[in-house]
Amino acid sequence: MSAVATPGEPAGTGQLPAARHAAQERAAPMPRGRRQTELAMLVFAVGVVLLAYANAGLGLNGHIPSGLITYGIGFAVLVGIAHVAVRRLAPWADPLLLPLAALLNGLGLVMIYRLQESGRSGNPGNVISTMTASTATFQLVWSALGIAAFVGVLALIREPRVLQRYTYTLGAVGLALLALPAVLPSRFSEVPGTTAKIQVAVGGFSIQPEEFAKLALAVFFAGYLVAKRDVLALAGRRVLGIDLPRGRDLGPVLIAWGASLLVLVFEGDVGTSALFFGLFVVMLYIATQRTSWLLIGGILFVAGSLIAAKLFSHVGVRFTIWLHAFSGNNPYNISYQTVQGLYGLGYGGVLGTGLGHGQPYWTPLVQSDFIITAFGEELGLTGLMAILLIYGLIVQRGLRASMAVRDPFSKLLAGGLSFVIALQVFVIVGGVTRLIPLTGITTPFLSQGGSSLVASWMLIALLMRVSDTARRPAPQPIQEEGMTQVVRGG
Amino acid sequence: MNHALRRVSLVALAMFLLLLLNVNYVQAFEPSFLAGQRGNARVFAEQFQYQRGSIITADNKTMAESVHRQGIYSYQRVYPDPLVYAPVTGYDSIYSSTGIEETEDKYLAGTDPKLTVHNLIDLVTGKPKRGATVQLTINSVAQQAAYDALKATGLPSGVVAIQPSTGAILALASYPTFNPNKYATFDGTQLKNIDDRYRASPQQPLLNRAIDQTFPPGSTFKIVTSSTAFSNGGYNPDTRVYAPTNLKLPHTTNQLINFDNSPCNDGSNPTGNGKVPLIFAFTVSCNTVFGNLGMHLGDNPLRAQAGKFGMNNPNLNIPLPVAQSNYPPIPGNDPALTAYSAIGQYNDTVTPLQEAMFAAAIANNGNLMTPYLVQRVTAPDLTPLVTAQPASMGQAVTPQVAGEVARMMVSVVQSTDGTAHTVVTSGTSYTVAAKTGTAQNGIKNTQLDDAVFTCYAPVTNPQIAIGVIVKGGGLGADASAPVAVKIIQAYLSSLAKR
């Protein structure tokens, strides 16, 4: 913590002793863990998911899916395990994060099931060629692995600060994971049907290392910035009312910028590049509180994107699709996927067609990058706004934990992780709804694909760990020795 | 750091607000723009999500229906007897439609305002939307006989049969024709291939020869020439008229001759330069007599009479649009060209439908009824939406003149000299009144003659009037008359059974 008292936290000085005493009296009752609230919310989330699952089956062929009981029990058990783990490992954690994540994961499973069933066994619609009859089952297995990873993170990392020890190790791991697909031959790393080299595929089993690199690099940024933030924040000159950093302090920013551009160029993955750079700049800003970093970062990013758009056709075409989606032959050609997604959203309208009643199968890769358009089509504007609000709530709970925790490393890590969810949702949802140029990244918890799901669960685990630390009551004095003051950490 | 975190929260809030605003714009304000985009497969596929109405014959035989199937498109258009009914139904493909499928689309698709209330009730009661059933005047027996008979000729041909008293079209067939089932595919590539193949075919299977193509009427036009003579020339069937073997034409060295250069002799004209009764000239179809008669009557009265029979009408819709049958103005009022026009040559052109209308007007005492195909349109809940009201196009000739022409047409069949005597009397026991035509074709008659035939039956109580044209069929009596005879036999015997 900096020496200056941060606004919003009770300052230790300047209050009358009586008032301070009163404040302590109020804090004295044990804060509640709110695990019962979490359980109630989880029951609600599982109920919503099961209703949606039944609804999808009824919409498709008029029958409740035969797997409702098995899958329902399976999903409920998974969520139950996560809840028990939280009770034991992070009893003070925020009660909303787990139910919100479970709800999104469950809705994603339902939509993937609905898309997989399209055109199969007599259901209306086209078979989506990029999905098999067991895609949803695989996704459920991935959900189980995700929840296992969630429990694993909670079990292994009992204090967020322990991660600070591995700052540079995790930084190296993150960069290696990020660079891995670029150095591998295309046949291992290229996503079929695209030019993006973002995965490692061996024998039909593929993972996207960038999803885990995101977490490792967030830890690295947090550790690095906590160590360097004073020099980054204080040294520098003031030009035109903006504090500019020293030239030598620009190094890390330029390295991060360069790394994100390399990802962009060698892996053809604009979305991930934007995500990493955005994550770094925002964490830099949180650490230093200097607006100039945001400005410098923003200028570098825009300049980098524009130069990349001019130099690399696969980046330039994103801008063409964004600006001229409906012009000329574009809807049948380069902007086909985008306009199909928009047609889906328009077809759904305000109230949606209902699960199973839309035609999301027209949109290529609707189960991954464009899954939000399938929700928009079948659940309508209403359902889509609800989903966006769920994401918003997760971000809000994460930022709240970040503000409440005292340790600067945890604060920075939670802030960065929360913002990266917001940024990821903004980039993908903004992309498919044509608010910004489309860059293909996964929609957290919803998109088909295991790496993203497991990484998202790990991210939620980290946020809950920070939240648990923040809300854990201060250790009670062992002996009551008069007015001995407990010095609280931070 | 919490200060910066608060700012970051505000940035995150702003990002979510932008997303929310944008999805509101896309989903609440843009849908009509998006739905109107070409290539919006969702909106396009939606029209195949409900059942299009059926097209049925007057005797309730299904010509076109939509059957439920698996897949994106829930309903598949099926034509159970595709070749027989193709010229009537047309096709309904994913890109376009023709025939009744096109003209009655608003009923079949259920988009007509008259169906709005029914659709609304279905929406409220949860019943799926359905199109209305269109019942045509087509009689399945007559239509089947018509198609089979055309097919038997093996030549490009068309035929139309009309009920003279109402104008209801009993049969409308064309050969060679196409298979509308092939157009009902949902596979765009397959559709394009089949369409390209049909369009490139030298047989022109997509051409509806019954109403879309015109041919020279040949001697069947003598019905119009006779009608003109009876109506304003003071003639009757027994009037003796000049009947040369060769008719010298003014201002030209060409001479009008009879078929095979034969004389026009009923026994009273041995010199080939005397006179014969008009009815005899009609019965054996003397060109010289009617060429000469046409020159005497003049071009304008002939054109006026042709118009009363329905020719020169560019706006005939049954509701399929019908090609205009022409009796065009003659340049410089050249009497030689009038002589040719009077026997159905020069620039006279007619559709098989027009041929049927000649006979129908005579059969209905000169009152020409507007031909029509749609008998009634019925909503899915069986409420009638449209019921045909037969309407007159006007009196083509007076009943008296109609009787006189009828007498001559009966003679064509009943007189042993008549051009249609053998073929008709050997083919059916019903009494038939007819006129044959053999139209010369091509520049300097280089092509085979077209066989033309118009008739009605039975003579005393006409139930059916038929016009047939067989391209390159030679003598009208040889190629066209058997087609009409088969239809008459099949249709009238089916009426008798009922």
B262 a catalytic residue? no
How close does chain B come to A345, measured CA to CA in Å? Answer: 6
Would you state the pLDDT for residue A8? 41
Q: Is the pLDDT of residue B82 over 50?
A: yes
Least confident segment among A85-94, A300-309, A399-408, B318-327: A300-309
Instruction: Give every CB contact of residue B45 below 8 A, 6+ residues apart in sequence.
Output: A359, B72, B73
Of residues A265 and B53, which shows the higher confidence score? B53
Q: Please give the residue of chain A at the shortest CA–CA distance from B46.
A: A359
Would you state the pLDDT for residue B156? 93
Instruction: Give every CB contact of residue B239 below 8 A, 6+ residues apart in sequence.
Output: B277, B278
**What CA–CA distances, in Å, run from B415 to B225, B282, B284, B359, B465?**
21, 11, 9, 19, 20
Interchain CB contact of A286 with B (< 8 Å): yes
> Please, which residues bridge with residue B277 across strands?
B240
Q: What is the mean pLDDT of residues B397-425?
A: 91
Q: Is the pLDDT of residue B442 over 70?
A: no
Q: Give the torsion sign (CA, A380, A111, B15, A309).
A: negative
Of residues A205 and A9, which shows the higher confidence score? A205
B23·A286 Cβ contact <8 A: no
Would you state the pLDDT for residue A98? 96
Q: Tell me the residue ranges of DSSP E strands in B244-382.
A: 246-248, 255-257, 275-277, 367-369, 374-378
Interchain CB contact of B10 with A (< 8 Å): no
Q: Is the pLDDT of residue A453 over 70?
A: yes
Mean pLDDT, chain A, whole residue set: 84
B5-20 tens-digit pLDDT? 999 999 999 999 999 9
A349·B28 Cβ contact <8 A: yes
Would you state the pLDDT for residue B286? 87
Question: Sorting pLDDT into bands at 50, 70 and 90, what band is A312?
Answer: confident
Q: Nearest by CB to A286, from B8, B27, B74: name it.
A: B8
Instruction: Give every CB contact of residue B230 below 8 A, 6+ residues apart in sequence.
Output: B236, B237, B397, B401, B404, B405
Which A residues in the span 295-324 are in contact with B, Cβ-Cβ below 8 Å? Answer: none
Q: Using the structure block, give the residue that is written with the tokens 């009494």.
A: B431
Q: Please give the residue of chain A at the shortest CA–CA distance from B34.
A: A343
Question: Sorting pLDDT into bands at 50, 70 and 90, what band is A60?
Answer: confident
A350·B27 Cβ contact <8 A: yes
Q: Which residues of B touch A233 (CB under 8 A)?
A: none
Q: Is the pLDDT of residue A30 over 70?
A: no
- For residue A31, give both structure tokens: 């804060």
Would you state the pLDDT for residue A186? 72
Would you state the pLDDT for residue B129? 74
Rounded CA separation A276/A270 (Å): 10
Least confident segment among A199-203, A460-464, B492-496: A199-203
Interchain CB contact of B29 with A (< 8 Å): no
Interchain CB contact of A281 with B (< 8 Å): no
Reference B144, options B486, B430, B498; nearest CA is B486
Interchain CB contact of A128 with B (< 8 Å): no
Would you state the pLDDT for residue A2? 41
Rounded CA separation A451/A455 (Å): 6
Q: Is A75:A83 a contact under the CB 8 Å cutoff?
A: no
Rounded CA separation A390/B19 (Å): 13
Question: Sorting pLDDT into bands at 50, 70 and 90, what band is A331?
Answer: confident
Report strand pairing: B169-175 vs B157-162.
antiparallel
Q: Is the pLDDT of residue B354 over 70?
A: yes
- Give the 3-state secondary structure of residue B134: strand
B449-464 tens-digit pLDDT? 889 999 998 999 999 9
How close does chain A come to B34, measured CA to CA in Å? Answer: 6
A396·B9 Cβ contact <8 A: yes
Would you state the pLDDT for residue A253? 63
Reference B487, options B460, B461, B459, B467; nearest CA is B467
Work out the burial of residue B469: count CB atoms within 10 Å of its CB; fewer than 13 is exposed, 13-18 middle, 19 or more buried.
buried
- Active-site position among B66, B157, B219, B231: B219
Rounded CA separation B271/B279 (Å): 19
Would you state the pLDDT for residue A14? 44
Reference A374, options A50, A56, A49, A48; nearest CA is A56
Q: What is the mean pLDDT of residues B344-355?
A: 90
- For residue A353, give both structure tokens: 């067609």
- For residue B397, give both structure tokens: 């000739």
- Give the 3-state secondary structure of residue B213: coil
Least confident segment among A127-131, B112-116, B396-400: B112-116
**What CA–CA distances, in Å, run from B279 to A155, A379, B266, B285?**
114, 81, 10, 9
- For residue B109, give both structure tokens: 């698709």
DSSP H or E stretch at residue B106: helix B105-108
- Give the 3-state secondary structure of residue B407: helix
ipTM score of the complex?
0.88
Instruction: Give every CB contact of residue B375 below 8 A, 6+ residues apart in sequence.
Output: B58, B135, B136, B137, B168, B387, B388
Which B residues in the span 56-85 are in contact with A, Cβ-Cβ below 8 Å? Answer: 70-72, 74
Question: Sorting pLDDT into bands at 50, 70 and 90, what band is A245?
Answer: low
Least confident segment among A285-299, A328-342, B110-124: B110-124
Which A residues in the span 366-405 are in contact with B, Cβ-Cβ below 8 Å? Answer: 376, 380-381, 384-385, 388-389, 391-392, 395-396, 399, 402-403
Least confident segment among A406-420, B169-183, B260-274, B384-398: B260-274
Question: Sorting pLDDT into bands at 50, 70 and 90, what band is B399?
Answer: very high
A371-405 tens-digit pLDDT? 999 999 999 999 999 999 999 999 999 999 999 99
Interchain CB contact of A409 with B (< 8 Å): no
Assign 3-class secondary structure to chain A. CCCCCCCCCCCCCCCCHHHHHHHHHHHCCCCCCCHHHHHHHHHHHHHHHHHHHHHHHHHHHCCCCCCHHHHHHHHHHHHHHHHHHHHHHCCCCCCCHHHHHHHHHHHHHHHHHHHHHCCCCCCCCCCCCCCCCCHHHHHHHHHHHHHHHHHHHHHHCCCHHHHHHHHHHHHHHHHHHHHHHHHCCHHHHECCCCCCECCEEECCEEECHHHHHHHHHHHHHHHHHHHHHHHHHHCCEEECCEEECCHHHHHHHHHHHHHHHHHHHHHCCHHHHHHHHHHHHHHHHHHHCCHHHHHHHHHHHHHHHHHHHHHCHHHHHHHHHHHCCCCCCHHHCCCHHHHHHHHHHHHHCCCCCCCCCCCHHHCCCCCCCCHHHHHHHHHHHHHHHHHHHHHHHHHHHHHHHHHHCCCHHHHHHHHHHHHHHHHHHHHHHHHHCCCCCCCCCCCCCCCCCHHHHHHHHHHHHHHHHHHHHHHCCCCCCCCCCCCCCCCCCC
- For residue B33, give both structure tokens: 């723009």
End-to-end CA distance of chain A: 6
B25-41 tens-digit pLDDT? 999 998 888 887 877 88
Rounded CA separation A160/A412 (Å): 11
A406-438 tens-digit pLDDT? 999 999 999 999 999 999 999 999 999 999 988
H-only helix segments in B169-286: 180-183, 188-200, 222-232, 278-284
Q: Which residues of A touch B44 (CB under 8 A)?
A: none
On the CB side of A144, CA atoms within 13 Å amount to 11
Q: Give the torsion sign (CA, A311, A313, A319, A323).
A: positive
Would you state the pLDDT for residue A485? 66
Would you state the pLDDT for residue A372? 96
pLDDT above 70 covers what percent of chain A? 82
Q: Is B116:B221 a contact under the CB 8 Å cutoff?
A: no
Of residues B381 and B11, which shows the higher confidence score? B11
Mean pLDDT, chain B, whole residue set: 89
Q: Is the pLDDT of residue A7 over 70?
A: no
Q: Of A36-50, A173-187, A237-251, B122-136, which one has max mean pLDDT?
A: A36-50
B237 upstream amide cis, omega within 30 of 0: no
B206-257 tens-digit pLDDT? 999 999 999 999 899 999 999 999 998 789 998 998 888 888 888 777 778 7
Q: What is the mean pLDDT of residues B431-439?
A: 90
Q: Which residues of A touch B4 (CB under 8 A)?
A: 285-289, 415
Rounded CA separation B398/B404 (Å): 10
Interchain CB contact of A4 with B (< 8 Å): no
On the CB side of B8, CA atoms within 13 Å amount to 38
Question: Sorting pLDDT into bands at 50, 70 and 90, what band is A29?
Answer: low
Q: Give the torsion sign (CA, A79, A82, A88, A94).
A: negative
Would you state the pLDDT for residue A239? 67
